[in-house]
Structure 1
Amino acid sequence: MKIQGKKIFLTGGAGFIGSHLARKFVNLGAEVVVYDNLSTGVKEYLKDLPNISFIKGDILDTKLLESSMKGCEIVSHHAAELEVFTGIGNTIHEMRVNIEGTLNVLNAAIKNDIQKVVYASSGGVYGQAEYTPEKETHPLMPQWPYGVAKLAGEKYCQQYTQLYGLPTVSFRYGIVYGPHEWYGRVLTMFIKRVFSGKAPVIFGDGSQRRDFVYVSDVVDANILGIENDSVSGMRFNIGGIAHVNVVDIANMVTKLIDPSLKPIFDDPKPGEASKHQPERKRLPAELKDFILDISLAREKLGYDPKISFEEGVTKEIKWYKSDPSIWDYDPRV
């Protein structure tokens, strides 16, 4: 189905990925209803966009969710509890938002005769990689509550497709980065720290590889998923062309901001804070390598990521420099 002329219900539409989707949907001729509780979203990201209505609402509020979705034809579900540490500290809240909230979205979609639901999942459903790049058929052994919840959401999407005929498609994102990214992940920490004249702190030897996918590539994948009518009930890896280790990330940031700074290596125990950067804790059960195989998305959707890591980081730094206060808020706290 073509997006032009459609009315799209976008949960989490004031957030990182959601705000970019809102802009793209409008540019393609859609009317957009943004539904966001603004717990981490920024309404100002949407202020210059026409054909958008904003509803401050929570996906746990079933009555408001259902009534707000009335008249829409497509649902893009990007509202979520994002941070790994938050989920570990409060698994019940993680479950309610990411599992119960997703069920609420699916039930509201059924009641409103929605034509398609796009679900934002995560490569975190795989857990520790048995091989790389990880295909969609890789064993599913998520290591954190976030991955467990995202996997449950995928399964419910597939069930609603099978039981009720609701067309759904799920995207397992790599590490999405770019303007509007929330503060708390390694790239954002490196950028903020180097921008303030301090060296980036690397945990371990920094050899862990990561799959970074620029936000515009993720947006393109969403458009392809909505407009393709033959992928209902399927799930796709959405990775990028940037497969970099943590040392590469640190070196790229210093190269673009202050080449005189050299990374500092630290080795705190899992869950403990860095002695060089006390506000930063090491993840429990840290992933060694995280690289997604995107061949299925290439084949079925025509997905073709385009943004190199240097280009993407340059764009994110430029955005951050325009208002460094944007990362004064840490959603993990």
Structure 2
Amino acid sequence: MRILVTGGAGFIGGHLAEQFVRDGHDVVVLDTLEPFYEVGIKERNVEIARSAASDGDGVYEFVEGSITDSDLVRELVSNTEYVYHQAAQAGVRASVENPDKTTRFNVEGTFTLLEAARESGVKRFVNASSSSVYGKPEYLPYDEEHPTRPVSPYGASKVAAEHYARVYNEVYGLPTVSLRYFTVYGPRMRPNMAFTNFVSRCLHGESPVIFGDGNQTRDFTYVDDIVDANRRLLETDAADGEVLNVGSTGRITIDRLARVIRDEIDPSIEIVYDEAREGDAEHTHSDVSKANELLGYEPSISIEDGAKRFVEWYRENEDWYDPLVRRS
């Protein structure tokens, strides 16, 4: 199969591109390599996927460019069967500071891709969405019928992209699916997240910093489970026009997460607290029964097991990945 992965030099997109070429597919990655975080991490994602292609039957091509470039997008989409749209201006706090940029990439960029996909008649358009669409919970766990009242421009942009994908399915017959990811973590993740900050500080003997009282809860999902859900969409025609939660079904307080990571590295380190950050959701918790019914999706990695795996990977890759090491 021929697959276009937008944002394929990023965290989730990089893992998808790597897995798809290992599975023997021909993959084109479109990414701007924007320095929202360390570009070297994105370049390593490209090299890992390229190496995976050389080891197997798949073909890998990297194209540096933007999803807002309609001519480039049209050219790439016309030569593909499946579009995995992972590209976005990430970051809740970044969207609060610069909502214009978030809207331009996350809404207008998605529209540009959908138009190209409609013109080319792709077999499936998979849109990466986020649990940020839910906002403040009226009940937990979130199912897909829960009201979407995001508390940040980032969340609002993801709601808009979902609606565009749904409309293109209903009006134009384009096979679309939106996957709502719940706080994804794992190797090569964005380094300015709570998970990575906790690990980095503990490995350097520093206290992990919690913003707020630590009672916020998150449904952390290991990246391998996210990849599994996406792969299943290559194997079935089910779920066209649908929105599906992809999470772990469990949740943990940020305070407990910090302690799990701290205890894995050095139980003697103290935990410190700072003021809460604007735009962060208070709680996330996924109901994945719909994804289970339609795709057979079953998350397999607990937060405790995933944290251990990530700490092990971090230790092995600290020299190029850890921000404190890179600055030294």
Q: TM-score by structure 2 length?
A: 0.91
Partner of 2:113: 105
3-state DSSP of counterpart to 1:20: helix
Partner of 1:14: 9
Select between 143-152 and 257-266 the one with higher mean Cα deviation: 257-266
What amino acid sits opposite 1:153 in the alignment? A
CA drift of 1:112 comes to: 2.0
What amino acid sits opposite 2:16 in the alignment? L
Q: Deviations over 1:291-331 (max 9, x none)?
A: 111111111111100011122122222332213442439xx
3-state DSSP of counterpart to 1:323: helix
- Confirm or deny: 8 A CA contact 2:107 2:161 kept in the other structure: yes
- Confirm or deny: 8 A CA contact 2:82 2:122 kept in the other structure: yes
CA drift of 1:285 comes to: 4.2
2:264 aligned residue (238, 242, 256)? 256
What amino acid sits opposite 1:300 in the alignment? L
1:246 aligned residue (242, 245, 254)? 254
Unaligned runs of 5+ in 2: 36-41, 54-58
1:222 aligns with 2:230: yes
- Confirm or deny: 8 A CA contact 1:241 1:307 kept in the other structure: no
Distance 1:211 1:190 in 2: 17
Distance 2:239 2:29 in 1: 25
CA drift of 1:47 comes to: 3.4
Q: Deviations over 1:204-243 (max 9, x none)?
A: 3312111000000001111123322121100001111441
Distance 1:136 1:227 in 2: 22
2:52 aligned residue (49, 53, 62)? 49
- Confirm or deny: 8 A CA contact 2:249 2:286 kept in the other structure: no
1:209 aligns with 2:203: no
Q: Deviations over 1:225-279 (max 9, x none)?
A: 332212110000111144110111111111111111121233x2xxxxxxxxxxx
CA drift of 1:71 comes to: 1.8
Distance 2:278 2:212 in 1: 13
Q: Deviations over 1:155-195 (max 9, x none)?
A: 00001011111000000110000001012221111111111
CA drift of 1:102 comes to: 0.3
- Confirm or deny: 8 A CA contact 1:206 1:247 kept in the other structure: yes
- Confirm or deny: 8 A CA contact 1:182 1:327 kept in the other structure: no
1:185 aligned residue (193, 200, 216)? 193
Partner of 2:310: 316
1:300 aligns with 2:300: no
What amino acid sits opposite 1:47 in the alignment? R
2:100 aligned residue (85, 92, 95)? 92
CA drift of 1:68 comes to: 1.9
Q: Deviations over 1:90-116 (max 9, x none)?
A: 111100000000001111112222110
Select between 45-54 and 14-23 the one with higher mean Cα deviation: 45-54
1:143-154 pair list within 5 angstroms? 143-154=151-162
What amino acid sits opposite 2:278 in the alignment? P
CA drift of 1:283 comes to: 2.1
2:283 aligned residue (289, 293, 299)? 289
2:148 aligned residue (137, 140, 149)? 140
- Confirm or deny: 8 A CA contact 1:99 1:150 kept in the other structure: yes
Distance 1:263 1:53 in 2: 44
Pairwise CA RMSD of aligned residues?
1.5
What amino acid sits opposite 1:114 in the alignment? V
Select between 310-319 and 39-48 the one with higher mean Cα deviation: 39-48
Distance change (3 Å), C-alpha of 1:316 and 1:86: same
Q: TM-score by structure 1 length?
A: 0.89
CA drift of 1:19 comes to: 1.1
1:82 aligns with 2:110: no
Greater share of residues in helix: 2
What amino acid sits opposite 1:89 in the alignment? E
What amino acid sits opposite 1:44 in the alignment? E
What amino acid sits opposite 2:307 in the alignment? V
1:28 aligns with 2:23: yes
Identity of counterpart residues, as a percentage?
40
3-state DSSP of counterpart to 2:145: coil
